[in-house]
Amino acid sequence: MLQLLLIAARNLVQHRRRTLLLGGAIGAVTALLVILIELSTGLRATILRSATTLMTGHVNVAGFYKVTPGQSAPVVTQYEKVLATVRQTVPEIDYIVERGRGWAKVISDTGSVQVGLGGVDIEHEPGLHKVLRIVQGNLDELAQPNTILIFEDQAKKLDVKVGDTLTISAPTPRGTNNTLDLRVVAIAKDLGLLSAFNVFMPATSLRALYQFREDSTGALMVYLKNIRLVPAVHTRLRNALQKAGYTMMDEDPKPFWQKFESVNREDWTGQRLDITNWDDEVSFVMYTVTALDVLTGALTFILLVIIAVGVMNTMWIAIRERTREIGTLRAIGMQRARVLWMFVTEAFVLGLSTTVSGAVLGMLICALLNAAHISVPIGVQLFLMNDRLTLLADPVKIFLSVLFITFCTSAISLIPSLLAARMKPITAMHYIG
């Protein structure tokens, strides 16, 4: 085996120009694949970090309350009883946040935007301090009643700054119009799609706007110590709440605001609980990750086909150049299988060395891009959920990519190698190329 490796390495060195050209192509494809993987992983991590703070817990116990069949509100009534069941059922809890939910029009003197309202108790929201980057004002002032936090783009649309007053207008669950005047206390940096439709206000003010009782909340956002436990906790919570006598909504992996239409169409009234996880609540933004993954897959496939053609051509040339050598080797006793492995090993060595180099190059480029803190245009921010380009290495995925490309280059070399192995020694020795 060592002998074969030696022959392969010497051959590659001997045909330096050809090796560099083909190896460069394989390395470039690997580097590109690594960059795309890091972009996708970075995007997923950003969404997970931002979304699980801004709009969802790892698992959410939420639901709808309907006064009449046609009017629903995203409310959990008597939430303390629900909370007790949740705590009893899930020992893996890290912490729980109670978050008010609403959908309203925010109006300034010059404009208006339709947004989702997050009713927060800022003293018990450690995550918001970590995720939100405040550009104006003070996040802690959300502890005062009738205050609001908005995002940069919303501030621009509404033409307001910290200290200005905004009016929120929304119908109560009984359909009666209500308004509330709120003072802007903080403006945060945009977080793409996640911030485009969200504002935060004190939970007490949200209750006042919707005329909710003190014992109601929008959702219990449950954070787990280990996010891998989400599916198990999701199922366990659903069963436990059902057993505790709560009526549950049918499983529907969508964010709560996409459920109003179907909930309003149903005939029931009263309270129904709904269990969702972070994946369900951010499904409307995860398409960007899926799109990027599909793009990565398609691009990799096309580039791999080009590389395969290149590898095969190179092997053909090598075999043609070395036909007499093959004949001699066969004449002095080298078996067909060994000839086959000789060429496959050459492709393998070329593939492995260049994919490893490409992966290292890709990771270096990613590290440089991260260090440069590159700001992205607003249009791109919508999809990246961040104002900066964030790339994150996933060692397992990168290792698998290196293996895959190496395997492909080796596998494709099997066809010319097989033909080389099947040559008759006498014919090969007499070959004049």
Residue ranges binding another protein (CB under 8 A) = 68-71, 107, 111-112, 167, 169, 171-172, 174-180, 211, 261, 264-265
Rg (CA), the chain: 30
Residues 141, 149: contact at Cβ < 8 Å?
Answer: no
Nearer to another protein, 49 or 157 (CB): 157
Nearer to another protein, 88 or 211 (CB): 211
CB of 250 to another protein, least distance (A): 18
Nearer to another protein, 124 or 174 (CB): 174
Helices (H), 322-385: 323-331, 336-371, 378-384
CB of 262 to another protein, least distance (A): 10
The DSSP bridge partners found for residue 104 are: 115
Nearer to another protein, 250 or 261 (CB): 261
Q: Could you tell me whether strands 147-151 and 177-188 are parallel, antiparallel, or unpaired per DSSP bridges?
A: parallel
Helices (H), 173-277: 193-196, 203-210, 230-243, 260-265
CB of 178 to another protein, least distance (A): 4
Residues 208, 84: contact at Cβ < 8 Å?
Answer: no
Residues 307, 26: contact at Cβ < 8 Å?
Answer: yes
CB of 111 to another protein, least distance (A): 7
- Taken in order 393, 396, 401, 402, is the CA torsion positive or negative? positive
Count of CB atoms situated within 10 Å of the CB of 388: 16
CB of 104 to another protein, least distance (A): 12
Nearer to another protein, 79 or 210 (CB): 210
Nearer to another protein, 70 or 231 (CB): 70
Nearer to another protein, 107 or 135 (CB): 107
Cα three-residue angle 427-430-433, rounded to 5 degrees: 105
- For 88, 152, 257, the CA distances from 217, given in Å and listed in that order, are 19, 27, 15
Helix pair 16-54, 336-371: axis angle to 10 deg: 50
Nearer to another protein, 264 or 283 (CB): 264
CB of 205 to another protein, least distance (A): 12
CB of 173 to another protein, least distance (A): 9
- Taken in order 171, 173, 174, 180, is the CA torsion positive or negative? negative
CB of 115 to another protein, least distance (A): 15
CB of 120 to another protein, least distance (A): 21
State the Cα–Cα distance between residues 55 and 278, nearest whole angstrom.
Answer: 9
State the Cα–Cα distance between residues 281 and 198, nearest whole angstrom.
Answer: 13
Nearer to another protein, 61 or 158 (CB): 158
